[in-house]
Amino acid sequence: MRRKNAIFMKNEVLERRGFLDMDIDPSLDLFEEIARLKKEKNAVVLAHYYQEPDIQDVADYIGDSLGLAQQAAKTEADVIVFAGVHFMAETAKILNPNKKVLLPDLRAGCSLSDSCPPALFKTFREKHPDHLVISYINCSAGIKALSDIICTSSNAQLIVDSLPREQKIIFAPDRNLGGYINRVSGRNMLLWDGACMVHEIFSLEKIIKLKERHPAAKLIAHPECEEAVLRIADFIGSTTQLLKFAEKDDSSVFIVATETGILHSMQQNSRNKTFIAAPPDNACACNNCPHMKLNTLEKLYLCMKYEQPEILMDEDVRLAAKKPIDRMFDLSRQLGLGG
Ligand code: 13P
Ligand code: SF4
């Protein structure tokens, strides 16, 4: 307990002192420094596809939420540097209580996770005691602790389909992913009314106009997008599924309705294809996740050097949150998705 408080204080002090914006010697080659620190500390860098290109380039593993959770579960590193958002680093900590889990910027949150506060969700769940709770991994440890099974956008449909049809289900926190699963599986899951600010920003009208200008282009979309966008999509999938589809499909032009960070990996994997970011509903670049983009290569280097900020968690919450994640891994294995 004393250790935990001490580290919490250290995190706060570091933020107050401007650790996050600390000057770095401009002569340093951060790519080399990060490689050196990885060896020195036996650290692994796990990065989500929505991270900036430089971070993706230094990562040991780049993946979607399912892949990252699977990597976090099997890593033998002593230090996990999580280049993603808070709920992802929290998941890594839930699975690795004895490892140090670092997040380059502790303020990297998630609008979807924030749309489901545990106290409100607990009351909601208590009103439906006969429902099983499936929560999308994009939620806090507090919500995971109130859930029966966790899923990601890669395995949500298979997990829901594996349950008896008469089973009543609450799906949280994303109403768009939940609505999509309801439509494809013919279920009527009760949906928590949460959403991701990035995936709800796309303009249907502008996407239709873009499709008219590029008639051969395929629209590929993440299931966190709104129903109207999903209805005109040629393919719907998690970030990894979108990446694989773009790699294998014969088309040479794709309109991509998800966070723009994925375009870096898409372009690297399919050099001769063209990827166009689906246009947002306004003039700004709002389909950049502002939370994901709080992490920078500089902050990644500093957090590895000083081993701060660190993710810490109450042990009771961790144990309760681990159960539905383990259930997801068990189901994923049974369904042939690895785990
Ligand atoms: P996936 O990584 O499951 O595709 O989810 C996308 C997302 O919004 C992560 O924050
Ligand atoms: Fe959260 Fe959406 Fe950003 Fe993903 S893209 S971290 S769901 S706000």
pLDDT at 62 over 90: yes
CA gap 272, 274 in Å, rounded: 7
Q: Which CATH class is domain 2-108+291-313?
A: alpha beta
* Amino acid sitting at position 217: A
Q: Quick one: pLDDT at residue 17?
A: 44
Ligand nearest to the CA of 199: 2
pLDDT at 222 over 60: yes
Q: Find the mean pLDDT for residues 185-193.
A: 97
Q: Quick one: pLDDT at residue 66?
A: 82
Q: If pLDDT is split at 50, 70 and 90, which confidence band does 26 have?
A: confident
- The CATH number assigned to the domain with range 112-196+321-334 reads 3.40.50.10800
Burial 37-52 (b: 16+ CB within 10 A, else e): bbeebebbbbbbbbbb
Q: Quick one: pLDDT at residue 321?
A: 98
Q: Quick one: pLDDT at residue 285?
A: 59
Q: What percent of the chain has pLDDT over 90?
A: 85
pLDDT at 263 over 80: yes
Q: What is the mean pLDDT of the chain?
A: 92
CA gap 221, 87 in Å, rounded: 22
pLDDT at 150 over 70: yes
> Which residues of the chain form CATH 3.40.50.10800?
2-108+291-313, 112-196+321-334, 204-277
**Least confident among 11-25, 79-93, 113-127, 203-217:** 11-25
pLDDT at 12 over 90: no
196 CA from centroid of ligand 2 (Å): 6
What are the CA-CA distances from residue 60 to residues 75, 95, 125, 281, 288 (Å)?
11, 18, 39, 35, 23
Mutate to test the pocket of ligand 1, among 46, 50, 111, 295 (most ligand atoms within 8 A of CB): 50
pTM, 2 dp: 0.91
Structure-model confidence comparison of residues 283 and 46, the more confident one: 46
Q: Quick one: pLDDT at residue 25?
A: 86
13 CA from centroid of ligand 1 (Å): 31
State the closest ligand 1 atom to the C-alpha of 240, by its place in the atom list counted from 1.
4
Q: Find the mean pLDDT for residues 139-154.
A: 97
Q: Find the mean pLDDT for residues 156-162.
A: 95
pLDDT tens digits, residue range 68-106?
Answer: 988 998 999 999 999 999 999 999 999 999 999 999 999
pLDDT at 8 over 60: no
224 CA from centroid of ligand 1 (Å): 8
Ligand nearest to the CA of 197: 2
264 CA from centroid of ligand 1 (Å): 15
Q: Find the mean pLDDT for residues 258-267.
A: 94
- The CATH number assigned to the domain with range 204-277 reads 3.40.50.10800
Can you read off the two tokens belonging to residue 292? 């994901």
Task: Look up residue 174 and give its DSSP letter.
Answer: B
Q: Find the mean pLDDT for residues 233-252.
A: 97
Q: If pLDDT is split at 50, 70 and 90, which confidence band does 18 have?
A: very low
With a 6 Å cutoff on the Cβ, whether 150 touches ligand 2 is no
pLDDT at 238 over 70: yes
222 CA from centroid of ligand 1 (Å): 8
CA gap 72, 317 in Å, rounded: 18
pLDDT at 189 over 50: yes
Q: Quick one: pLDDT at residue 6?
A: 42
Q: Find the mean pLDDT for residues 323-334.
A: 93
Structure-model confidence comparison of residues 225 and 13, the more confident one: 225
Q: If pLDDT is split at 50, 70 and 90, which confidence band does 336 have?
A: confident
Alpha helices by DSSP H, the chain? 2-16, 30-41, 53-58, 65-74, 86-95, 111-114, 118-126, 141-144, 156-161, 175-185, 204-213, 227-231, 239-248, 262-269, 297-306, 315-334
Q: What percent of the chain has pLDDT over 70?
A: 91
Tokens 């891994």 correspond to: 329
Q: Quick one: pLDDT at residue 2?
A: 36
